[in-house]
Amino acid sequence: MALIVQKFGGTSVGSVERIEQVADKVKKFRDAGDDLVVVLSAMSGETNRLIDLAKQISDQPVPRELDVIVSTGEQVTIALLAMALIKRGVPAVSYTGNQVRILTDSAHNKARILQIDDQKIRADLKEGRVVVVAGFQGVDESGNITTLGRGGSDTTGVALAAALKADECQIYTDVDGVYTTDPRVVSQAQRLDKITFEEMLEMASLGSKVLQIRAVEFAGKYNVPLRVLHSFKEGPGTLITIDEEESMEQPIISGIAFNRDEAKLTIRGVPDTPGVAFKILGPISGANIEVDMIVQNVAHDNTTDFTFTVHRNDYQSALTVLENTAREIGAREVVGDTKIAKVSIVGVGMRSHAGVASRMFEALAKESINIQMISTSEIKVSVVIEEKYLELAVRALHTAFELDAPRQGE
């Protein structure tokens, strides 16, 4: 008998029929003797619909009131699931974030959980009830409703699992696990049985959108075993843990991540003096623009070329800031490119293997793909390439690092 926190996302509770199916699933676990806490999202599309209503009143809705409205989506699904369970003879009770007492700070629309009072939940579990909790919402010290940011129900699930010291936090969604890369790009992508928190964080921040990043951080910090599973298909899913023991036998690379979210800016012919990087990037961060990759090169004539990437949404503002800087410091020119893509190989196995980066560069060279920028960390190598080669690059790397699933009949 285990204590399991199960979180079901919007598509899994997107209709009454689906909620009935979720109830069947929860009942199965209950019948097997597990203690269950179920965290739900709003029905798919509902949160967007509520935000849209608010925007019809005001372009910039008051954050506190926006939380009051968007938190209603989850209140609907928890009540429906509790009813469906009770109908099946399974004692159940639903709670809003306020009722459990999921205490957060007062940063409306992006609140952080400070503390969870688990007393009520434990008492219900002891009485044999399934506890159904609204995801995505909490309450601040003064009793204001808060929400945790889009996709925040994952964080609620993990936080509850941490507070209750649950044996596992299961995230049910519309995919059957975490894949070596996006199966829409590489048909031979494979489901991973296991991945570490660190790897998952890299994959998530690089664009693999299975889990909210904050939820993965939280799970890693409190060492909550997380499992991603398909809501309606049977299967083991992907377990996300701290465990690196078996990494010796694991492939060196766990996955290939990519995104088209960045743009590149270059300032050329900057007089190379101490403080140059600060002069260039100071105003960029002053404009609240986040910089990702950075490359600096010094030329023979004591000038330097400086290139960095920003989110594509920030490209225009970054360009304006940089052009001002160029005039002030006497740089030769500023150029930019939005048609780039970032491709990364991710794996804890890299720590114990040499030559991983060069293997990556070799695979790209074979496809005549030019690398524009490179950055590395302990468990990741990223390159920036021309956007039109993105899919080719991902496929080539997936094959080069032996991640392809065996073809039928092989």
Q: Which spans of this chain sit near ligand ASP (rule: CB under 6 A)?
A: 9-10, 41-42, 47, 73, 135-136, 150-154
Nearest approach in angstroms of CB 66 to ligand ASP is 12
Given the complex with Mg ion, which of 9 and 97 has the nearer CB atom?
Answer: 9
Bridge partners of residue 339, in order along the sequence: none
Total residues contacting Mg ion by CB under 5 A comes to 2
Given the complex with ligand ASP, which of 152 and 177 has the nearer CB atom?
Answer: 152
Reduced DSSP (H G I as helix, E B as strand, rest coil) percent helix, strand, coil of the chain, to 5: 40, 25, 35
Contacts for 213-217: CB closer than 8 Å, 24+ residues apart: 214/148, 214/149, 214/152, 214/154, 214/155, 215/151, 215/154, 215/155, 215/157, 215/158, 215/171, 216/240
CA distance 185 to 62: 40
Binding-site partner at residue 135 among Mg ion, ligand ASP, none, CB < 5 to 8 Å by type: ligand ASP
CB 128 within 8 A of CB 172: no
User: Which helix (H) or strand (E) covers residue 100, if one does?
Assistant: helix 97-100
Taken in order 191, 195, 197, 203, the sign of the CA dihedral is negative
Q: Interacting stretch for Mg ion, rule CB under 5 A, among 4-12, 283-291, 292-300, 370-378?
A: 4-12
Given the complex with ligand ASP, which of 148 and 383 has the nearer CB atom?
Answer: 148
User: Pick from 9, 14, 152, 157: which binds Mg ion (CB under 5 A)?
Assistant: 9
Q: Interacting stretch for Mg ion, rule CB under 5 A, among 50-58, 135-143, 151-159, 218-226?
A: 151-159
Taken in order 238, 243, 244, 248, the sign of the CA dihedral is negative
Given the complex with ligand ASP, which of 40 and 373 has the nearer CB atom?
Answer: 40
Q: Is there binding between residue 157 and Mg ion (CB under 5 A)?
A: no
Residue 195, SS3 per DSSP:
strand
CB 147 within 8 A of CB 108: yes
Nearest approach in angstroms of CB 153 to Mg ion is 6
To 5 degrees, how large is the angle CA 395–CA 401–CA 405? 70
Q: Interacting stretch for Mg ion, rule CB under 5 A, among 5-13, 258-266, 277-285, 342-350?
A: 5-13
Taken in order 235, 240, 244, 249, the sign of the CA dihedral is positive
Given the complex with ligand ASP, which of 9 and 61 has the nearer CB atom?
Answer: 9
Q: Is there binding between residue 151 and Mg ion (CB under 5 A)?
A: yes
Binding-site partner at residue 304 among Mg ion, ligand ASP, none, CB < 5 to 8 Å by type: none
Binding-site partner at residue 73 among ligand ASP, Mg ion, none, CB < 5 to 8 Å by type: ligand ASP
Nearest approach in angstroms of CB 147 to ligand ASP is 8
Nearest approach in angstroms of CB 113 to ligand ASP is 14
Given the complex with ligand ASP, which of 21 and 75 has the nearer CB atom?
Answer: 75
CB 211 within 8 A of CB 153: no
Given the complex with ligand ASP, which of 209 and 233 has the nearer CB atom?
Answer: 209
Q: Interacting stretch for Mg ion, rule CB under 5 A, among 9-17, 21-29, 83-91, 297-305?
A: 9-17
Binding-site partner at residue 47 among Mg ion, ligand ASP, none, CB < 5 to 8 Å by type: ligand ASP
Nearest approach in angstroms of CB 104 to ligand ASP is 14
User: Which helix (H) or strand (E) covers residue 48, if one does?
Assistant: helix 46-57
Q: What is the dihedral of CA 191, 186, 247, 175, to 10 degrees?
A: -20
Q: Interacting stretch for Mg ion, rule CB under 5 A, among 6-14, 115-123, 237-245, 377-385?
A: 6-14
Q: Interacting stretch for Mg ion, rule CB under 5 A, among 2-10, 51-59, 202-210, 240-248?
A: 2-10
CA distance 258 to 182: 9
Q: Mapped to the 3 state alphabet, what secondary structure does 118-184 carry?
A: CHHHHHHHHCCCEEEEECCEEECCCCCEEECCCCCHHHHHHHHHHHCCCCEEEEEECCCCCECCCCC
Residues that bind Mg ion (CB under 5 A): 9, 151
